[in-house]
């Protein structure tokens, strides 16, 4: 039997989204593992369980609390069967190094945030050419990887740790860039393999189960001007 798992999460947080994606890819339902935390008013029970006060955090049967999204993904991959998220596509350390590059300053995530407005804010104006170039260099790298993978995903015909780690940000960037800057992520630069990857990830049951209502999410982004408004006011996937 797989262990019982509790994921302390905010269902709009992209880092927590990574952990939920990994668990759903392993066949679990969000109702089986998610314990949503209101980050705007962190409850005492959460701070007792996770003194750092950050999501995601995961506990298994033994009661130990595991933090950091990439660490949680690797533990999920090891503990739950239903197909490896790495063994079919390449050495885990190489894949994790790739994701760490995407997470680092100048990588896909920071360049996407800079494009939208810098930090987590949404400015709704066209970014400087250097910012556009930075994003498009990162998209081109992902596009090249997808084109040479032999499948629709970053490292082959099925999602890996890399897809799960990067997609929550790509999903948000695609929606925000389209709405606030009229820019189609991937399509605006002809990165067709990347566009296919976005569509393939969006079509997965895991992504569908964890995606909030786009219209309601956009209304909140317009009102607050921030992607991370949920840090400051009550919100969740069902009521973004």
The CA-based diameter of the chain, rounded to the nearest angstrom, is 53
Q: Which of 31, 53, 79 is the last residue of a domain?
A: 79
Question: pLDDT for 105-115, tens place per residue?
Answer: 999 999 999 99
Look at the chain and report how many structural domains it folds into: 2
Specify if 66 maps to a domain.
Answer: yes
Q: pLDDT per residue over 122-165, tens digit each?
A: 999 999 999 999 999 999 999 999 999 999 999 988 999 999 99
**What tokens appear for 97 in the block?**
């190094």
Residue 20 belongs to what domain range? 6-79
- The rounded distance, in Å, linking the Cα atoms of 87 and 83 is 9
| Cβ density class 70-79: b for 16+ within 10 Å, e for less | bebbbbbbee
Question: Do the beta carbons of residue 39 and residue 231 sit within 8 Å?
Answer: yes
pTM of the model: 0.95
In this prediction, residue 87 carries a pLDDT of: 57
The CATH number linked to 120 is 1.20.1050.10
Question: Which of these three, 17, 44, 79, is where a domain ends?
Answer: 79
Q: Same domain, yes or no, for 68 and 112?
A: no
Co-location of 125 and 68 in the same domain: no
What pLDDT score does 89 carry? 56
| Same-domain pairing of 154 and 102 | yes
């Amino acid at each position: 039997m797989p262990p019982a798992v509790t994921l302390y999460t905010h269902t709009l947080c992209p880092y927590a989204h990574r952990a939920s994606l990994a668990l759903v890819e392993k066949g679990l339902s969000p109702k089986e593992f998610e314990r949503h935390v209101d980050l705007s008013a962190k409850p005492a029970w959460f701070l007792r369980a996770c003194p750092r006060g950050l999501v995601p955090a995961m506990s298994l049967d033994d009661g130990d609390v595991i933090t950091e999204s990439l660490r949680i993904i690797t533990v999920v991959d090891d503990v739950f069967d239903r197909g490896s998220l790495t063994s079919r596509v390449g050495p885990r350390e190489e894949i994790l190094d790739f994701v760490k590059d995407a997470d680092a300053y100048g990588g896909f995530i920071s360049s996407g945030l800079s494009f939208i407005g810098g930090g987590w804010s949404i400015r709704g104006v066209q970014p400087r050419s250097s910012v556009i170039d930075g994003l498009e260099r990162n998209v081109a790298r992902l596009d090249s990887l997808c084109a040479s993978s032999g499948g629709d995903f970053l490292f082959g015909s099925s999602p890996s740790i890399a897809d799960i780690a990067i997609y929550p940000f790509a999903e948000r960037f695609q929606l925000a860039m389209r709405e606030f800057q009229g820019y189609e992520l991937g399509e605006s630069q002809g990165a067709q393999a990347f566009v296919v990857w976005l569509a393939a990830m969006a079509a997965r049951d895991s992504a569908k189960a964890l995606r909030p209502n786009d219209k309601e999410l956009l209304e909140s982004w317009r009102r607050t001007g921030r992607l991370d408004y949920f840090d400051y006011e009550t919100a969740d996937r069902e009521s973004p």
